[in-house]
Structures are given as C-alpha cells and as structure tokens.
Structure 1
C-alpha cells in the first residue's frame, strides 16, 4: 500500500474558482427601462438622479413638500454622478458594519469596485477573519475538528504514513461538516456579513503531515473565493431591494451607463491540526 503524498487537495466545491461567467459577475448589461420596469429601481439615490444626470435638491426630491416648485436640479457629468453615488454607497455601508476589526473592509471594497476595474481583492484582515472563524468554531460540524479525528484514525501507525487508499475518508469528513461562512449573528454587525457572507468556492488541502512518536501534526490550507457583485435574484428579493445601499450597488454594477465591474474576493489561511495514536 502506497503513502499519500503532500501537499494534497482533498476537497473542492462544485462551483469553480475564477468563474467570471457567474450571474453576479455581470455588469453594464441593463438599460434604464429594464432597471425601472423589472427591478423597480426608480428611487435609487437621495443625492443624484442617475437617469437624468442631475443633482437632487429639495425641489426635485419626490418625498419633499417642495417637489415641483422649481425646475430640475443641476446637470452633472456621468463621471461626477458615479462619484456621488459611490460616496453615498460608502456612507450607507456603515449600517452593516458597526464595530470590530473588520468594519473598515466594506468601504475599502466599495472603493476597489470604483477604481479596481474588476481586479481580484485580497486583504490580510479577511485572511485573519477566516482563520479566527475556523479556530474558534468548536461545533461538531467544524471541518477542522472532523479532519483531526479522521487523520488520526486512518494513519498507518506501524509504517508511519497516511495510506493513499484512505484519501477518500478525508473528503468524506469535509462533506459531513459545514464550510466556513460569515452568516453568523455577529457577522451582521462586524463587517464580514456584508463583505463576504456566503462564499462561492472553497478548496481545502493538506499541505504537510508529520508523524513521529505516535503523534501527528498536519497543516491544513483553506482557500476561499467570493464574488463582490449582485445578480438579478439578489435585487429582486425584498431583503435587498428595500435598502438604498443595494439599489445603488446594483445600479452602479448593472446600468449600461456605468457598468462598474464586480470582482473576486480571495481569502486564504493555514491552520494546524494535531493528534495522538491513543486518541483513536
């Protein structure tokens, strides 16, 4: 029986990395008529009208008692309109990112959407959040804890290696668990829920396995990718459409007058798992 060689990828989600064809990665593909008719995006911003490229004042704000008493607001360029929308986008994001070490990320990612031209986004704070999530989760569904048991159970202790034939047991352990996602209650306020929340694709690999004195030590690498973008299903849901934040986001991304590119958010971390022969 041969030994499993490391590094070794033991799990990949069905959804692929670098999937730029995904529905939430589309941009600049909708007209004013489609945005208004299909998605009810009439009242988008409190600062500008993106369809007429005019600033909104108390006299042309439909909710104002001064509405209609004067002509339309000041005409502005497409570039100036986009700048104002992004400033409002950042301002509204604070509602979803109240406190904590990750609260700054959403504004940083909005600016990346504005200026990054669709380039992937990485940040050490995201990697740190992923590692903390994995290490602090002590539930029975934690993939780290499930792997800890399976690795120790399937090592050939007499020969001092992990058998290649048992690789499938590592994948099964991942499938029994819950992949790390930022959908917990605290993520609704600490900035991770609005920046990542669910994830698009996950790869898990064992980078190394060291066996000695009836103990083992392994390094497990988690690579996660999410999309910072919205699709039609997102904006059609009341939980998103009711917030001006998401209406501005969708318009900046999908309106053919703007078409700002969504991007891939990359996160990666490596954690250590250890165990003894007598634990199994």
Structure 2
C-alpha cells in the first residue's frame, strides 16, 4: 500500500533559523566612539551633524571643501536626541539614491522610520509580500527557479495511477528546492527599485506545501513561502568599501552600533502563496 504525503507539509527550511536575535547584524549599541572612529574609520559620518561632538555642520566642514574646517569656530551644540533625529532625516534622504522608481521605492524610508521608532519590533508590509510573490513567479530560470523545479518534481514523482504523491518521495521535493536559488532581491533592477536596499539577500526561508490536488492527469499545488531578513548591518558589511564609501551606510552603522544611540535593527517578514500546476504529459522545456 502506498502512503500519500500528509498535508500541510514543510518541504524546506534553511539552516539559518528564524528570529535569530543573536546574529551579528542584530547587535546594537555595543561600540564606543573610539572603536567606531579608529577601527572602522568612521571619522566623518554626516554632512549635517558631527555625532562625536554633538554639533551642527556647515558646508565648509565637508572634507571636499577647499576651506579648512579648523579655521572655523565650533558648530552649534545640539542634544543627542536632536543629533539622532537629524541623522535619521539624512538617512532617509540618502536612501533615495537606491530606490527611485517602481512600486517599492517607498519601502526603504518606511523601514528607516521603523528603525527609528519601532524599538526592534518585526516589520511587515503588504508591498513586501507582493514583491516576494512577483519575484517567485517571474523567475523563469529552469535551473534556478524553485517554482519550476518543484513543477518538475511533482510531474515525475506523483503516482498517476493512484492520484497521490507518495510520502516516501517527499525528499525529492526537498531536493528540488535545495538545488534552486531561493527568492532574493539581487537582480540588476533591485539596485534601483528599492528592494535591493531593503532586503537584498535573505536570512531564513521556510517553504510549505499546503495542498495538492491530483485529478485527470493534472495536479494543482498550493505552496507557501515564508521569508525573513534582518534590517541591520554587521562589522563585515561596513568594512567593505562598497558599503563604507556611502554616507548612507556610515550613518546606518553608527545609529545602530554607537552606544550613545543604539537604535535596534529588526526582522523583516514576508510571505507569499503561489499556485503550481501541470500535467502528466506536459513538456518541461
């Protein structure tokens, strides 16, 4: 007797676990001014304020200025709270260089504000769910798409005589996902549409088969993706020139890690449900 796969069924789960608050990019408020300025080279952070002296800047303070900033008197003193608020405003303004078109361009500013006010609580937005579903459906690479590789596995492993998916072949579905490229936002267009800066890579992914109907040599599967990312930077990030050259990331790192600020990073959660269907005799080309 052939035992059918019991549903719902978890098909795949990444080794990195969800809600891992011990991850390096989830640390905050643990670095001193000396560490940030010497080891990380974060001497000049902002064109608006100097977080080390808690003073406002003028255009003549900028490193590229032809005038020597040492000839000027000290800038206007501000409080630590005022400095953080100004840095967050600059953080949001600078984010626009990474998200200037498309339906997701507003997300980065929304997420920066969540970092400022959310005290580390998880973040959800319907636009993130929509972006995830769109990425899964539009991935048409036969070698990389988890959706298309699952399609092949369903076709080849369904017992078409008894109209069931054998429980003993569940691992074939898991393997098809393991060989795929999991959904992430590292395409060229993601550099400009807001998704590359808000999510880019992902931390943890769970994929569940919620239902499977087989009838008349056709099948219809409902597959649910749960994806989690961390909105935070770690030391490895800021030590890379591709990050540290931008004031955007320098401000982000200082707001998160400087012990005088310590704004908490957070989990970014997104979900998508997709339908996969096909037939016994369908071409897999």
Bin of the TM-score, shorter chain as denominator length: over 0.9
4+ residue runs of structure 1 moved beyond 6 angstroms? Answer: none
Correspondence for 2:9: 8
Give the Cα separation in 2 of the matches to 1:66 and 1:19: 46
Give the Cα separation in 2 of the matches to 1:72 and 1:63: 19
Give the Cα separation in 2 of the matches to 1:198 and 1:60: 36
String of CA shifts for 1:205-244, please: whole Å, max 9, x gaps. 1110011122110001111000000000000000000000
- Name the SS for the 1:166 alignment partner: helix
Give the Cα separation in 1 of the matches to 2:127 and 2:149: 26
Q: Which runs of 5+ in 1 are unaligned?
A: none
User: 1:236 is matched with which residue: 236, 239, 242?
Assistant: 239
Correspondence for 2:132: 130
Give the Cα separation in 2 of the matches to 1:80 and 1:201: 36
Correspondence for 1:75: 77
- Name the SS for the 2:281 alignment partner: helix
Correspondence for 1:113: 115
Correspondence for 1:213: 216
- Name the SS for the 1:247 alignment partner: helix
- Name the SS for the 1:278 alignment partner: coil
Correspondence for 2:19: 18
Contact 2:47 2:59 in 1 (8 A): no
Give the Cα separation in 1 of the matches to 2:137 and 2:249: 32
When normalised by structure 2's length, the TM-score is 0.96
Give the Cα separation in 1 of the matches to 2:72 and 2:38: 27
Give the Cα separation in 1 of the matches to 2:117 and 2:160: 54
- Name the SS for the 1:249 alignment partner: helix
Q: How many pairs does the alignment contain? A: 280
1:29-178 map, 5 Å: 29-58=30-59, 60-64=61-65, 65=67, 67-140=69-142, 141-178=144-181
Give the Cα separation in 1 of the matches to 2:94 and 2:36: 21
Contact 1:59 1:68 in 2 (8 A): no
- Name the SS for the 2:130 alignment partner: helix
Give the Cα separation in 1 of the matches to 2:194 and 2:271: 18
Does 2:283 match 1:276? no
- Name the SS for the 1:3 alignment partner: coil
User: 2:196 is matched with which residue: 193, 205, 209?
Assistant: 193
- Name the SS for the 2:69 alignment partner: coil
